[in-house]
């Protein structure tokens, strides 16, 4: 693992541990040793403690200074609540974006999504996630409401974690997930190109429903293992 420099130490430590949780290097329910994390990341224990407090505030870690920190479990309530909020926020954002998204950026993204079918293995998987994040950014760049952006940012940590949980639990279905996800992304992108608010709203809603179905399948599989 790359050692962390002194520049913005607290922020980098927070991001490093958060990435380890998202990547399932630190699994749900796993106890966290401040000493081990300090040694692994090459920083003192102070930024580790500061990071754990922030992660606790975001719901990713259960942390009490008098007890060992623990990676938060993912519960059925977490999945329900995350998708309930996403189905309210994201279709609304996509509907508004249909009128204002940069067409050149949308066309470029469409071409990249279409080209994913020519890739294989990890390269295909990484490009799928890259285009997914770019689509999210493209939609968010159209938002001119600071409170809405703050709400989205708060729920995004849980969205990413739940998505990685589903993919880590169902690796054998990765190609299916990528294939279905690309089709859903193309539907959203085409609606943006056609300047159709209603189709953009519905395409995002359909995408979220499919993602939720895949997440529940992974959750139930993990629970029964």
Q: 193, 194, 204: which is closest to 105 by C-alpha?
A: 193
pLDDT for position 125:
83
Please state whether the predicted TM-score (pTM) of the whole model is above 0.85: no
The fold for domain 76-224 equals: 1.20.120
Helix, strand or coil, per DSSP, at residue 200? helix
Series of mean pLDDT values for 10-residue runs along the chain (225 residues):
63 92 87 95 94 90 86 91 95 97 96 89 87 95 94 85 76 78 96 98 97 89 72
Pick the CATH number of 9-71 from 1.10.10.10, 1.20.120.80, 1.20.1090.10, 3.90.400.10: 1.10.10.10
pLDDT for position 172:
62
pLDDT for position 5:
53
Domain ranges of the chain: 9-71, 76-224
pLDDT for position 221:
79
The three-point CA angle 182-170-153 to 5° equals: 60
Question: Cα-flanking dihedrals φ and ψ of residue 71, to 5°?
Answer: -65, 130
Q: 213, 177, 207, 166: which is closest to 189 by C-alpha?
A: 207
Contact 47, 10 (CB under 8 A): yes
Q: 105, 72, 113, 89: which is closest to 192 by C-alpha?
A: 105
Q: 132, 106, 145, 152: which is closest to 207 by C-alpha?
A: 132
pLDDT for position 3:
55
pLDDT digits (tens, 9 = 90+) for 163-193: 877 777 666 667 788 899 999 999 999 999 9
pLDDT for position 173:
67
> How far does Cα 78 stand from its chain's mean position?
14
């Amino acid at each position: 693992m790359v050692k962390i420099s002194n520049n913005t130490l607290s922020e980098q430590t927070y991001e490093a541990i958060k990435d380890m949780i998202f990547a399932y290097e630190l699994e749900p329910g796993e106890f966290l040793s401040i000493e081990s994390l300090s040694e692994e990341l090459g920083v003192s224990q102070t930024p580790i403690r500061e990071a754990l407090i922030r992660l606790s505030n975001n719901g990713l870690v259960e942390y009490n200074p008098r007890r060992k920190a623990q990676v938060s479990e993912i519960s059925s309530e977490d999945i329900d609540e995350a998708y309930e909020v996403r189905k309210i926020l994201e279709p609304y954002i996509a509907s508004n974006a249909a009128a204002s998204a940069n067409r050149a950026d949308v066309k470029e993204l469409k071409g990249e999504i279409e080209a994913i079918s020519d890739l294989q293995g990890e390269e295909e998987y990484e490009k799928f996630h890259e285009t997914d994040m770019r689509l999210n950014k493209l939609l968010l760049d159209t938002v001119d409401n600071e409170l809405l952006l703050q709400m989205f940012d708060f729920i995004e940590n849980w969205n990413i974690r739940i998505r990685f949980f589903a993919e880590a639990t169902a690796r054998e279905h990765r190609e299916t997930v990528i294939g279905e996800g690309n089709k859903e992304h193309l539907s959203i992108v085409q609606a943006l190109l056609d300047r159709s608010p209603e189709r953009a709203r519905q395409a995002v809603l359909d995408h979220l429903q499919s993602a939720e179905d895949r997440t529940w399948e992974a959750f139930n599989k993990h629970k029964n293992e």
